[in-house]
Amino acid sequence: MAQSRSMESRTGRTNQRYGAKGERLVAGVVPLSADKTKVLMIQSAGPGGWVLPKGGWETDEETAQQAACREAWEEAGVICTVQKDLGTIPDMRPPALVTAQAPKASYQFFEVIVEREEPQWPEMHKRKRQWVTYAQAASALVSRPELLEALNRSSLKR
């Protein structure tokens, strides 16, 4: 079932979903190679090196899974298939790093298999993508405990 994929990235938080405690609901993916030996990481839009594709779950998306796959497309340019729900991960940032621009969040991650990498995607001008091993990914995510937790819940081969 092919859905049309926009070359426009969503921006802003007008349609952002929030949880019961006012936390921003964020959906993301741990994109694995078919043999599960590599994970696809993307450059962070801000400083901070390499991250997993993720972003706000919006009100026009029925499921966090839809939002996660949209983010994988916008940020990494991949078409993916969800393998499993990795569950909810709380925001683990120290209170000093939680600001109005970066409010507390609740993360819902999904393990996905990358079916295709498209040569052009919405955020290609601001993000590179790179296949890495578990050790490389874990080392890159050391300052992002919520992303490291998602990686550790996945079936990526260690």
pLDDT at 10: 74
Do 51 and 41 form a contact (C-beta atoms < 8 A)? yes
Averaged confidence pLDDT in the chain? 92
| DSSP state at residue 142 | T
Domain locations in the chain? Answer: 24-153
Question: Largest Cα–Cα distance of the chain, in whole Å?
Answer: 44
pLDDT at 120: 97
Nearest to 28 by CA among 99, 98, 104, 106: 106
Question: How many other C-beta atoms can be found within 10 angstroms of the C-beta atom of residue 45?
Answer: 13
Do 110 and 86 form a contact (C-beta atoms < 8 A)? yes
Does the domain spanning 24-153 belong to CATH 3.20.10.10? no
pLDDT digits (tens, 9 = 90+) for 79-131: 999 999 999 999 988 888 888 777 789 999 999 999 999 999 999 999 999 99
pLDDT at 71: 97
pLDDT at 4: 61
pLDDT digits (tens, 9 = 90+) for 19-72: 988 899 999 999 999 999 999 999 987 776 999 999 999 999 999 999 999 999
Whole-angstrom distance, CA of residue 58 vs CA of residue 114: 23
Nearest to 25 by CA among 93, 108, 111, 102: 108
